[in-house]
Amino acid sequence: MGRANRVVLAYSGGVDTSVCIPYLKQEWGIKEVITLAADLGQGDELGPIQEKALRCGAIESLVIDGKEEFARDYAFAAIRANALYENRYPLSTALARPLIAKLLVEAAEKYGADAVAHGCTAKGNDQVRFDVGIMALNPKLRVLAPAREWNMSREETIAYGERFGVESPVKKSSPYSIDRNLLGRSIEAGPLEDPMTEPSEEIYLMTRAIADTPDEPEYVDIGFEKGNPVSLNGKALDPVTLISQLNEMVGKHGIGRLDMIENRVVGIKSREIYEAPALLVLIDAHRDLESLTLAGDVTQYKRGLEDTYAQLIYRGLWYSPLKEALDAFIDKTQERVTGTVRMKLFKGNANVVGRQSENSIYEPDLATYGADDQFDHKAAEGFIYIWGLPTRVWSQKTRG
Ligand code: ARG
């Protein structure tokens, strides 16, 4: 394969992606590197990052605000699907990757690049999500992953960068590897590599320690429309504001931490700490509203698909025919999922304490144990006779 002339590189401003700029040019003969930094709410100042890419030798340094799209088209889709990988991880990092892949492909097409690049290493999930996302969106583009091949230690990477004008990091580098965006933080490596070592309190930034949480519970009413969160305590909010405010509100009560051993796509087990306060609470609230508004068999069937949906996101198949087909099913179910869920936040727990909906199919006259009961009690006996018939016959034949 011939050399790429112009490359769009996913850029974070960190050492690895900065070193990718001279590396692509020096080692792989790329003529022009355009960097792209996506603002997905990671809280970095993007002005300095933009400057830094140019100092490292990029011919153009793009910064794109993707927060709104991230919340609306990625996070909310995952909430509608109640997507939790291995029943726990709400995919806060994983969801950002298909959007970054899409922004890279759009930039490559706009600037006439023949390849895109990223700084992922060979052991993680993110390389899979970028590579597969990019090939799904534009199979003609080549994907370059220098850090997957360069085999340099951290010190060697820094030293390599210094030779080509990449400043070495000012802060003493943390032992942790951290990914952050609007939805949460993922923390791994360093002392966390021992699965028996308790995470030190200082790694958490979005959630308080229980010892520091308020001594009074707080309630929040979360409003949903067609499965999408739209309001907090009756106030309509845009998706980004809603998630940010809810992060604050529930993180203050110590809600939203996870400590888990997960199975990566590449077969490695890894120990990961997550903070995803709003996302976890939104999924709980959403799932509850579904149980009020959806027919029982629809709910059960959908629960069976949710794990598949979470796996698709985790494994880099956001842009795939199965994901599209599942979306069609999920979107149909969500037409009814409008209403409000009341959560009580207290000492690390967010519990659903109430729910209501104009589409509720809860029928008080059937459910009540009081005088208004409309349920036909006599019908129960005949129903059980027929329901239990095969069991009775089986027992007669086999127990004698
Ligand atoms: N394990 C998580 C995932 O695959 C997060 C990985 C993010 N990176 C990190 N440095 N913790 O989605």
Residues 199 and 290 in one domain: yes
Residue 366: helix, strand or coil by DSSP?
A: helix
Q: Each residue of 379-395: pLDDT tens digit? A: 999 999 999 999 999 99
Instruction: Provide the CATH number for the domain around residue 130.
Output: 3.40.50.620
- DSSP per-residue string spanning 240-305: HHHHHHHHHHHHTTT--EEEEEEE-TTS-EEEEEEE-HHHHHHHHHHHHHHHHHS-HHHHHHHHHH
Tell me what the mean pLDDT of segment 30-49 comes to.
Answer: 93
Q: Is the CB of 92 under 6 A from ligand 1?
A: no
Q: How far is the CA of 92 from the centre of ligand 1 (A)?
A: 9
Residues 327 and 182 in one domain: yes
Q: Is the CB of 265 under 6 A from ligand 1?
A: no
Confirm if 66 and 39 have CB atoms less than 8 A apart.
yes
Q: Each residue of 218-239: pLDDT tens digit? A: 999 999 999 999 999 999 999 9
Residues 232 and 106 in one domain: no
Range from 65-69, 106-110, 396-400 carrying the lowest mean pLDDT: 396-400
Residues 171 and 201 in one domain: no
Residues 169 and 25 in one domain: yes
Task: Judge whether 153 counts as a catalytic residue.
Answer: no
Confirm if 288 and 350 have CB atoms less than 8 A apart.
no
Tell me what the mean pLDDT of segment 145-153 comes to.
Answer: 93
| % of the chain with per-residue pLDDT over 90 | 89
Selecting among 12, 16, 129, 208, the annotated active-site residue is: 16
Q: Ligand 1, residue 91: give the atom nearest the CA.
A: 12
pLDDT at 3: 66
Distances, alpha carbon 339 to alpha carbons 71, 162, 336, in Å: 20, 56, 9
Q: Is the CB of 127 under 6 A from ligand 1?
A: no
Instruction: Look up residue 85 and give its DSSP letter.
Output: B
Selecting among 61, 92, 126, 270, the annotated active-site residue is: 126
Q: Each residue of 271-309: pLDDT tens digit? A: 999 999 999 999 999 999 999 999 999 999 999 999 999
**At residue 169, does pLDDT exceed 90?**
no
pLDDT bin (cut points 50, 70, 90) of residue 375 is: confident
Residues 191 and 277 in one domain: yes
Range of the domain at 53: 6-67+93-175
From the number of C-beta atoms within 10 Å of its C-beta (0-12, 13-18, 19+), residue 234 rates as: exposed
**At residue 364, does pLDDT exceed 90?**
no
State the DSSP H helix or E strand holding residue 10, giving kind and residue range, or none if neither. strand 6-10
Residues 122 and 25 in one domain: yes
Instruction: Provide the CATH number for the domain around residue 266.
Output: 3.90.1260.10
The protein residue with its alpha carbon nearest to ligand 1, atom 12, reads: 94
User: Who's near 358: CB < 8 A, 6+ residues apart?
Assistant: 338, 339
Task: Judge whether 6 counts as a catalytic residue.
Answer: no
Residues 288 and 384 in one domain: no
pLDDT bin (cut points 50, 70, 90) of residue 131 is: very high
Residues 140 and 229 in one domain: no
Q: Does the residue 74 lie in any domain?
A: no
- Number of structural domains (the chain) is 3
The protein residue with its alpha carbon nearest to ligand 1, atom 8, reads: 179
Q: Does the residue 86 lie in any domain?
A: no
**At residue 164, does pLDDT exceed 80?**
yes
Confirm if 299 and 336 have CB atoms less than 8 A apart.
no
Q: Does the residue 233 lie in any domain?
A: yes
Q: Ligand 1, residue 187: give the atom nearest the CA.
A: 11
Strand 142-144 vs strand 177-181: parallel, antiparallel, or unpaired? unpaired
Q: Is the CB of 125 under 6 A from ligand 1?
A: yes
The protein residue with its alpha carbon nearest to ligand 1, atom 4, reads: 125
Strand-pair partners of 184? 181
Task: Judge whether 376 counts as a catalytic residue.
Answer: no
CA 206 to CA 8: how far, in whole Å? 32
CA 188 to CA 199: how far, in whole Å? 10
